[in-house]
Amino acid sequence: MYDDDVKLLDGVKALRASEIHIVDVYSPYPVHGLDTAMGLPRTRLAICAFIYAMTGLAAAATMMWYMMIVDWPMNIGGKPSFSFIQNLPSFVPILFEASVFCAAHGIVITFLLRSWVLPGVSNKNPDPRTTDDLHLLELNLNDKEASEALKILENSGAKEINEK
């Protein structure tokens, strides 16, 4: 349990240096550099967003091609109605909106599922103060590591150490 993010980062780094596995860290706000300090892999959510955007683009293009060109071409002031390419400029706004729509909703839904943050899920933070002002570092130790970990935690300025 830490009350300062700088101390938390020091503690995490020291533990990692002595090869003690960190189960998880619970923080009230994003601590910058914590993911790299913990050695978490960089999230691939941004790639997902790109894929969703392309899906939206393709879906919108197919829809407009089918409706406006294939199924029911409309004669609007004699403008070309049988060509997708010649109609493309006026399809751009909807192509764009559909891409954004799919990317934004897709990435959020993926995030919520991936982190399992969903309506009805009960929270897993062991101490309610971790959403207020304390950071909690969760370790799963055997007897051999325990004394070393305790020392590291005390040195890095942990405010509170609890055993379970």
Partner 1 sequence: MSNVVAEIRDPLILGDRTIHDITVDVARSVEGKANKWWFIVFAIAVSAATWGVCCILYTVGVGIGSWGVNKTVGWAWDITNFVWWIGIGHAGTLISAVLLLFRQRWRMAINRSAEAMTIFAVMMAGLFPILHMGRPWLAYFNLPLPNQLGSLWVNFNSPLVWDVFAITTYLTVSIVFWYLGLIPDLAMIRDRARVRGNAMYDKVYSLLSFGWSGRARDWSRFEEVSLVLAGLATPLVFSVHSIVSMDFAAGIVPGWHTTIFPPYFVLGALFSGFAMVLTLTLTMRKVMNLENYITIRHVESMNYIIILTGSLVGTAYITELFMSWYSGVEYEQYAFINRATGPYWWAYMCMMTCNVVTPQLFWIKSIRNSFTASFVIAFFVNIGMWFERFVIIVTSLHRDYLPSSWTMFHPTFIDVGLFVGTIGIFFTLFLLFARVFPVIAQAETKSILKLAGSQYMNGAAAPAPPKEDVVEEKEEEPTEDNADDESAENDKEDE
Residues 61-100 that bind partner 1 (CB under 8 A): 63-64, 67-68, 71-72, 74, 76, 79, 87, 90-91, 93-94, 96-98, 100
The piece of 9-17, 141-149, 150-158 that touches partner 1 (CB under 8 A) is 9-17
Question: At which residue do the structure tokens 């799963």 appear?
Answer: 140
Which residue of 1, 2, 11, 25 would you call a contact of partner 1, by CB under 8 A?
A: 25
- The yes or no reply on residue 122 touching partner 1 (CB under 8 A) is yes
CA 138 vs. chain centroid, Å, equals 21
The piece of 112-120, 140-148, 151-159 that touches partner 1 (CB under 8 A) is 112-120
Q: Please name every residue paired with 22 in a beta bridge, in sequence order, or none if there are none.
A: 139
Minimum CB distance to partner 1 smaller for 65 or for 145: 65
Our CA angle for 154, 8, 38, nearest 5°, is: 115
Q: Please name every residue paired with 25 in a beta bridge, in sequence order, or none if there are none.
A: 137
Q: Smallest distance from the beta carbon of 98 to partner 1, in angstroms?
A: 7
At residue 72, what is the residue type?
Answer: W
CA 13 vs. chain centroid, Å, equals 23
Number of residues that bind partner 1 (CB under 8 A): 71
Q: Please name every residue paired with 2 in a beta bridge, in sequence order, or none if there are none.
A: 135
- The yes or no reply on residue 55 touching partner 1 (CB under 8 A) is no
Tokens for 41? Answer: 């892999």
Tokens for 48? Answer: 């997902």
- The yes or no reply on residue 1 touching partner 1 (CB under 8 A) is no
Q: Smallest distance from the beta carbon of 131 to partner 1, in angstroms?
A: 4
* Residues 131-160 contacting partner 1, CB under 8 A: 131-133
Q: Which residues of the chain form beta strands (DSSP E)?
A: 22-26, 136-139
Minimum CB distance to partner 1 smaller for 20 or for 96: 96
Task: Give CA–CA dist 112/106, Å, rounded.
Answer: 10
Q: Smallest distance from the beta carbon of 1 to partner 1, in angstroms?
A: 13
